[in-house]
Amino acid sequence: MSMEKGLIVRLIENGTVIDHIPPGKGIIIAEMLNLFNQDSVVIIGQNLESTKYGRKDIIKVENRFLKSEEYNKIALIAPNATVNIIENYEIKEKKKVTIPNVIEDVALCINANCISNREPIPSKLYLINRNPLKLVCHYCGYECNEKNIRLKA
């Protein structure tokens, strides 16, 4: 039996493709970006073969382009992800997400007693280490990592 290589997940005409997501994180990212509550077509491929990482998830969203704070959220969950902007079925722009040194109003401090969780002020975390992820709160000094990070809804 011969197997022809082909696309597992169909092409989109215009929109955004988030690629190189760790397996199992695609749904988390789609929910975090609120992709299911919009009129756009959302295609999620899970546990796909990846020559670079072994396995990966991928998200394709038609007619939706990400804001800069959304790139930061993706980077916190999938630091090796790439975001492709698609126009007329072609990649117009390709960006690798990066975790910024200062993360403002994207992730929340895990300390329930932190002033950022009790007062109407924006959260602010500093990047201590990218891999493994380690962040520290500007206000109270609490640390968090990829296992206990809380993203702002």
Residue 71 sits at φ, ψ, to 5 deg, of -60, -40
**What is the predicted pLDDT for the residue at 121?**
95
- The amino acid occupying position 100 is P
**What is the predicted pLDDT for the residue at 38?**
79
**What is the predicted pLDDT for the residue at 9?**
66
- The answer for residues whose C-beta is within 8 angstroms of residue 141's C-beta and 6 or more apart is none
For each of the chain's 153 residues, which pLDDT tens digit applies? 334 455 566 789 999 999 999 999 999 999 989 998 878 899 999 999 988 889 999 999 999 999 888 998 899 999 999 999 999 999 999 999 999 999 998 899 999 999 999 999 999 999 999 989 999 999 999 999 988 988 887
CA torsion through residues 33, 151, 101, 98, sign: negative
What 3-state class would DSSP assign to 148? Answer: coil
Domains and CATH numbers, the chain: 15-96 (3.30.70.140), 102-151 (2.30.30.20)
What global pTM score does this model have?
0.82
Residue 25: closest CA among 125, 143, 149, 128: 149
**What is the predicted pLDDT for the residue at 10?**
76
**What is the predicted pLDDT for the residue at 6?**
54
